[in-house]
Amino acid sequence: MMPKNVPLSKKSKQFLENLRVYLFSTGKKEKEIDEIVEELENHLMQAEKDGKSIEHIIGQSPRAYMEQLASEMPIDLKAWMKYIPMILFGAFSFTVVRDLFEGTLAYSLLEIIGFLIIAILFLTSISLTFRYVAGKNLSTGKQFAILYPVALLPMALFIGLIFLNQHVTTPVISFGMIGTIIIAIVTLIFIIGISIWSKTWVLPIVLTFVSLPDYLLGFTSLTESARLITGTCITFGGIFIYLWISSKLAKA
Amino acid sequence: MSTTQMMKGILDGCILAIIKNKEVYGYELAEKLEGYGFSNFSEGTIYPLLLRMQKEKLVTSTLKKSTAGPKRKYYRLTENGEQELQDFIERWENLQTNVNHVLKHETKKEKEIKHDA
């Protein structure tokens, strides 16, 4: 986005690049990031033409200056909203895809009702939180301090549900062959839909690395512990390589 | 209140006064402030202040093409901004009068005491 022919010093260019990354990582609106980076780029260009040092513009600590800017910019709540259905259906699809490899689907009543309650709780709490955060003039740090626990809430509830399901017996509902196929297709459509909508293929790729190695290794003659270790290595290695490649691509 | 906090409030008022007089872009604003003697602050300080003023709807900005080439963001005062400037001027004059009073009387007393001794 930055023109390559700008007669800016390396130090200034580096600062602008760091600023862009910093603001992006703190969840600011892309349009506002572009605007402030461009404005500072203009300022630095003119300042350098007039023989001023970058320290004269941004002070002694670039980090402190970036924080000052960030604290005056609102978090992009719409972008956050994008990740909510992804987290929710993502969590759901992990369970479904794993179980699909094991055969026809069967869930206890507790699991089904529990999931629905968690989904409703999560959607209500997150939308209430967003409304609260958007209405207040909070610092970035405070906004994240409020949003993170709410985003992590379903994770904790899911773990709770899994434990509860092991100790409480409720009627099991079996979906049979046709039911399983329908759920599989719906899940697949969800995964593809979410990927297209959120413009990232992170969900299906992570899903594949989590579910497929275990399944494929089941056909090998490896011992259980060897399968477990190999599977874990492939899962984390694969995800790591994917994230590394996508970060390289994003920079280019 | 630390000096930097006090300074920020004063800078806010000065920025509003400069913008009211004429639409300016960032670099122009920094140059003017320096021209008036605010030389020991880093120029970039104005951008977080401008961002906040925009958030508080005291100023608005428009992108205009400059003769030099790149688009520049020009700042203009809103009605709220004009009101805030009036309030600042009142606060400042009040403060200035009070401080002057204190300094005039108290430092005179001090001199008298010294004289007596």
pLDDT over threshold 60, residue A5: no
Residue in B29, B47, B58 to test binding to A, most A beta-carbons within 10 Å: B47
pLDDT in tens, A191-208: 888 888 777 788 788 888
Q: Do B30 and A43 touch (CB under 8 A)?
A: yes
ipTM of the predicted structure? Answer: 0.82
3-state secondary structure chain B: CCHHHHHHHHHHHHHHHHHHHCCEEHHHHHHHHHHCCCCCCCHHHHHHHHHHHHHCCCEEEEEEECCCCCEEEEEEECHHHHHHHHHHHHHHHHHHHHHHHHHHHHHHHHHHHHHHC
Task: List the alpha helices (DSSP H) in chain A.
Answer: 10-25, 30-49, 54-58, 62-71, 77-100, 109-135, 140-167, 176-198, 202-217, 224-251
Neighbour count for residue A231 (Cβ, 10 Å)? 21
Burial code (b: 16+ CB inside 10 Å, e: under 16) for A183-197 equals bbeebeebbeebbee
What is the structure's pLDDT at A128? 79
Given CB atoms, is B27 within the 8 Å cutoff of chain A? yes
Q: Say which of B45, B48, B70 has its CB closest to residue A42.
A: B70
Q: How many domains does chain B have?
A: 1
Over the stretch A80-123, which tens digit does the pLDDT of each residue have?
A: 776 676 677 777 788 788 888 877 888 888 888 888 888 888 87
- Mark yes or no for CB contact A72/B45 under 8 Å: no
Q: Provide the CATH number for the domain around residue B98.
A: 1.10.10.10
Q: What is the mean pLDDT of residues B86-95?
A: 94
Domain that holds residue B88: 3-116
What rounded mean pLDDT belongs to chain B?
86
Q: Mean of the pLDDT values across residues A162-174?
A: 85
A126-155, pLDDT tens digit by residue?
Answer: 777 877 776 666 676 777 788 788 878 877
Q: What part of A 86-105 touches B (C-beta under 8 Å)?
A: none
User: Cβ contacts (< 8 Å) between A47 and chain B: which residues?
Assistant: 27, 43
- What residues of chain B lie within 8 A of the CB of A55, using their CB? 42
Mean pLDDT of chain A: 82
Q: Would you say residue A4 has pLDDT above 50?
A: no
For B49, name the nearest residue in chain A, comparing CA atoms only: A72
The length of chain A is 252
> Residue A27 in contact with residue A70, Cβ under 8 Å?
no
In chain B, which residues have their Cβ closer than 8 Å to the Cβ of A35?
73
- pLDDT attached to residue A2: 46
pLDDT for the residue numbered A89:
74
Interchain CB contact of A18 with B (< 8 Å): no
Give contacts of B 72-91 with A, CB under 8 A.
72-73
- Which of A41, A47, A72 lies closest to B48 in CB terms? A72
CB pair distance less than 8 Å for B42 and A40: no
- Among the partner residues A35, A56, A69, nearest to B42 by beta-carbon distance: A56
Instruction: Summarize pLDDT for A228-241 with one digit per residue, the tens.
Output: 888 888 888 888 88
Q: What confidence category does residue A1 fall into, taking pLDDT thresholds of 50, 70 and 90?
A: very low
| Per-residue confidence (pLDDT) for residue A208, from 0 to 100 | 87
